[in-house]
Amino acid sequence: MTKRGLLLIGHGSRTGDSAAVLRKTAALMMEKTNCRIFPAFLEFDLPSVTDAINAVKRTDVEEVVAVPMLLARGTHTEKTIPELLGMAPGKKEGELLFDDGRIVQIRCADPIGADTVLADILLSRAEAVTFRS
């Protein structure tokens, strides 16, 4: 079985709240998969995407999927993340050169997007709020 690594990429924030959510999500994902999960942030929090890629390179991972923890397509999903991963303009796949000389394929997954699971989560959050009369 191929050893897969998932690079879970979030935006990051000055408050630190998003970092905690991303790290908790990474932990929940690790409970559900045999993949290694590498959290990373575009701004404000550490590890950076570059730091996370370097961490991946020190492992025996054989393929990598970058998973943006972002809602919609935009500059970060279409330009920033692919560039940070060394992908050619307009491409969503590329290669990582590992320290031992191995070349490992990396691909970008789509952002979360509209999904019934997301709709259910948002409805449950709305239902949890009660109005006082």
47 preceded by a cis bond (ω within 30 of 0): yes
What CA–CA distance (Å, rounded) separates 63 from 4? Answer: 5
pTM for the whole structure: 0.93
* pLDDT for residue 132 is more than 90: no
**Residues 25-47, mean pLDDT to the nearest whole number:** 97
76 flagged as catalytic: no
Q: What is the pLDDT of residues 5-30, one digit of tens each?
A: 999 999 999 987 899 999 999 999 99
Asked if CATH classification 3.40.50.1400 holds for the domain at 4-127, the reply, yes or no, is yes
Q: What is the pLDDT of residues 43-85, one digit of tens each?
A: 999 999 999 999 999 999 999 999 999 999 999 999 999 999 9
Among 3, 4, 11, 107, which one carries the catalytic annotation? 11
